[in-house]
Amino acid sequence: MDIREYIKDRILYLDGGMGTMLQERGLQPGELPERWNVLHPDIIIDVHKAYYDAGSNVVSTNTFGANSLKFSDEELESYIRAAVENVRKAASLSEGTQEKFVALDIGPIGKLLKPYGDYDFEDAVSVYAKTVRIGASCGVDLIFIETMNDSYDTKAAVLAAKENSDLPVFVSNAYSEDGKLMTGATPSAMVAMLEGLGVDAVGANCSLGPAQLKGVVDGYLENASVPVLLKPNAGLPRTENGKTVFDVFPEEFSDLMAEYVKDGVRIAGGCCGTTPEYIAATVSKTRTVTPVPVVPKNKTVISSYTHTVEFGKSPILIGERINPTGKKKFKEALREHDIEHILSVGIAQQDRGAHVLDVNVGIPEIDEPALLTEVVYELQAIIDLPLQIDTTDVVAMERALRRYNGKAMINSVNGKEDVMNEIFPLVKKYGGLVVCLTLDEEGIPDTAERRIEIARKIIARAEEYGIARKDLIFDTLAMTVSADDKAALATLDALDYIRHELGCNTSLGVSNVSFGLPQREIITSSFFLMAMTRGLSAAIMNPNSNEMMKVYYSFKTLMGIDESCGDYIANIDKFAVSTLTAPSASGTASGASGASAAPAADDGLSELQRAIVKGMKEQAAKITAELLKDTDPLEIVSEQIIPALDIVGKGFEAKTMYLPQLLMSAEASQFAFEQIKKKVAESGTSGQSKGKFVIATVKGDIHDIGKNIVKLILENYGFDVIDLGRDVPPETVVDAVVAHHAPLCGLSALMTTTVPAMEETIKLLRKEAPWCKVCVGGAVLTQEYADMIGADFYGKDAMATVRYAVSAVDN
């Protein structure tokens, strides 16, 4: 019988601990348990048989660590084959009459994946794939991926299982006491991702005893639409006289398990410290329990690697700013591969309260699949919000979805047959909440009725692909009201119907509605409010707009979904001020705030200089903007900003100012520079660069705070810094120096173990780019060391490097 059939109306029993059982039977410390499949099949069969005798339906192969990182291909093959054979034998030897299944057991490969670790996601998929292929060829009944403590690693294993077999896949994660995975995912986030990937059962094992897993189990039962499994430890392990002992015994364990089964757990077993006795007790106490039916939860959710965002309750804000449309600066950033700029746009939106970020990097002249994947990856390294992947390039969509850590929002599909045929298979494979635009081959219908018709068609086609209605979110297309008086009404009528009659969530890119009108934010935000009252679940919008945020917080408060008006009050400072500008600003006296270049107070500093020296960013920006009204930008730089930076630099060198203060000043001057750049761009003259400076943390080293400090201050001093990041191979440094013909290059290393990589980089630079001066820095370096590896300059701190760079280009 197919195990998926079997669990439909029955409780399924798994086995208990393996490692602890083998240790009792003489497995030596350091010995790999998988070898015992071949060395001591009798013992292994014995343990397996004991579990079948105790009533387990599923016994897992002794292959927890069987992967190509630990074993050669031949070993791997022979251990897995033997492992499957051992379980089969145990099944036939056991006199238990229950239905018996063999699970291929897969544990984590023990590598932390990028961006945190240094192991590549696709490499992990390949390692898991090898194990899956061998196991599948042995004819196991299911794949059991267990004890996974990272969501990304879990995804790699599931993809490998799905791509290399048609077997049922059960996935079990190991939670910490705070109810999260090691890398932060909650049970609901795991459910969202794993159901999206199409696994057949989800749950938790190991780490904790049954009692401590209560919150985790509840999290699963509330969210999962597939059967929930639970395989706890026999309580918490502790060491007693050099032996590991557990504090929960079969009686208590099975009592707790019986409670969980009554609550809805459908698949029960044990992990570390549990024995056949635990399983037998659990079976006997739950045999007569009527299984709680597994019902679809119909929650519309997406997830990041930490949490879920649910649609259909409070409106969801999807930040629209990572998008080149109509944004000159952003387009330039894409062309120049300025990932930092893209990231800062993302961070700003999160700070403003966005729940989800839309990611669109489509401009004609770039390799969109590569860039989109990279941006998604980089965003996920620092921002824990779920992302909406926004592209019309199907290749880019697939690559980004594959690499995405969680369940993404997919933007978009529409009523065109060919588009549905391209997008729905991706949704099916990787999971996701897909935005459905109500247009088709005939374009965007004028009427609400036709848009609803298209929605029905999309729902039906999605169903054919096995995609549930809850994973569709409809965009009824906000059209420009200045072009058609009835445009907004058609959009809203269709939206209302789809939300309330078809029961699907809805989303709108609200900004379009006001195109061509003056003071667009007034119309856009009003439309946003109207749409929310008609049932809008999510808006793709600009979170930087105070007008939009006013409407959002007001709506929540007035609809009774903002408890005690808490969010409204807590965020009032963020949106209370109007972002609207008066229609004609000329002739007003707003510039008379008294900003001047003249010294004030008695420290001899101008206002701007004081703001920079004290590290006050907003002040610095404001004063600069004022000054720019009647002062030449370059004069502000040379007469005010640079002298202020010099004051700070000297203070730092004299140790009257410290590193945090140096940095805050640098940040403040950056704010001032932003204003100046804006002005210069308006007037069309280009800024002057002191020259190019390539900077990198060397291969093997991931420390970059110091490198970033140097970069920041170099930029303040007018250098055009090409930042290659961290862990940069020598060839990449050389390529950049050659491509830019950079006169200067800075290398950073913090570990003694990575200084050789620095030396190697310098050698290669000497050969390929002999014109380039190389400065080095980092905690382990000294002047002697720098001389030894052939650097031109040793920068003991950021200011030293900057002074050297200035003198090098001035000569």
Q: Which of 74, 95, 166, 178 binds other proteins (CB under 8 A)?
A: 178
In terms of CB distance, is 639 or 653 closer to other proteins?
Answer: 653
Q: Which of 22, 45, 261, 663 binds other proteins (CB under 8 A)?
A: 663
Spatial distance between the Cα atoms of 660 and 616, rounded to a whole number of angstroms? 13
List the structure tokens of 612. Answer: 């920079």
Site residues for other proteins, 158-177, by CB under 8 A, read 176-177
Distance of CA 136 to the CA centre of its chain: 31
Q: Which of 239, 290, 584, 686 binds other proteins (CB under 8 A)?
A: 239
Q: Which of 10, 429, 678, 703 binds other proteins (CB under 8 A)?
A: 703
In terms of CB distance, is 255 or 667 closer to other proteins?
Answer: 667
| Least distance CB 184 / other proteins (angstroms) | 6
Asked if 147 is part of the footprint of other proteins (rule: CB under 8 A), the reply reads yes
Beta bridge partners of residue 308, listed in sequence order: 303
In terms of CB distance, is 160 or 181 closer to other proteins?
Answer: 181
In terms of CB distance, is 20 or 491 closer to other proteins?
Answer: 20
The neighbour count for residue 576, using CB atoms within 10 Å, is 11
Asked if 493 is part of the footprint of other proteins (rule: CB under 8 A), the reply reads no
Asked if 570 is part of the footprint of other proteins (rule: CB under 8 A), the reply reads no
Site residues for other proteins, 82-121, by CB under 8 A, read 108, 110-112, 116-118
In terms of CB distance, is 89 or 114 closer to other proteins?
Answer: 114
Asked if 809 is part of the footprint of other proteins (rule: CB under 8 A), the reply reads no
Asked if 184 is part of the footprint of other proteins (rule: CB under 8 A), the reply reads yes
Q: Is 343 helix (H, G, I), strand (E, B) or coil?
A: helix
List the structure tokens of 206. Answer: 């190991």
Sequence-distant (≥ 6) Cβ neighbours of residue 212 within 8 angstroms:
177, 236
Asked if 183 is part of the footprint of other proteins (rule: CB under 8 A), the reply reads yes
List the structure tokens of 766. Answer: 């000497």
Among candidate residues 50, 48, 41, 57, the one with its CA nearest the CA of residue 2: 57
Q: Is 51 helix (H, G, I), strand (E, B) or coil?
A: helix
Distance of CA 260 to the CA centre of its chain: 32
Asked if 373 is part of the footprint of other proteins (rule: CB under 8 A), the reply reads no
Site residues for other proteins, 321-340, by CB under 8 A, read 340
Spatial distance between the Cα atoms of 615 and 481, rounded to a whole number of angstroms? 46
Asked if 603 is part of the footprint of other proteins (rule: CB under 8 A), the reply reads no
| Least distance CB 472 / other proteins (angstroms) | 32
**Contact flags string 374-393 toward other proteins, x per CB under 8 A:** -------xxxx---------
Q: Which of 24, 31, 122, 501 binds other proteins (CB under 8 A)?
A: 31
| Least distance CB 344 / other proteins (angstroms) | 6
| Least distance CB 30 / other proteins (angstroms) | 4
| Least distance CB 696 / other proteins (angstroms) | 12
Among candidate residues 752, 760, 747, 676, the one with its CA nearest the CA of residue 718: 676
Sequence-distant (≥ 6) Cβ neighbours of residue 490 within 8 angstroms:
446, 447, 448, 451, 476, 479
* 287 secondary structure, DSSP code: T
The neighbour count for residue 364, using CB atoms within 10 Å, is 5
Asked if 636 is part of the footprint of other proteins (rule: CB under 8 A), the reply reads no
Spatial distance between the Cα atoms of 129 and 142, rounded to a whole number of angstroms? 15
Spatial distance between the Cα atoms of 797 and 398, rounded to a whole number of angstroms? 45
| Least distance CB 779 / other proteins (angstroms) | 5
Asked if 406 is part of the footprint of other proteins (rule: CB under 8 A), the reply reads no
What is the distance between the terminal CA atoms of the chain, rounded to a whole angstrom?
82
Asked if 750 is part of the footprint of other proteins (rule: CB under 8 A), the reply reads yes
In terms of CB distance, is 535 or 706 closer to other proteins?
Answer: 706
Site residues for other proteins, 527-556, by CB under 8 A, read none
Q: Is 520 helix (H, G, I), strand (E, B) or coil?
A: helix
Among candidate residues 101, 11, 701, the one with its CA nearest the CA of residue 289: 11
Residues 679/625, Cβ–Cβ less than 8 Å = no
DSSP tally for the chain: helices H, then strands E: 32, 25
Q: What is the size of the binding site for other proteins (CB under 8 A)? A: 83
| Least distance CB 406 / other proteins (angstroms) | 14
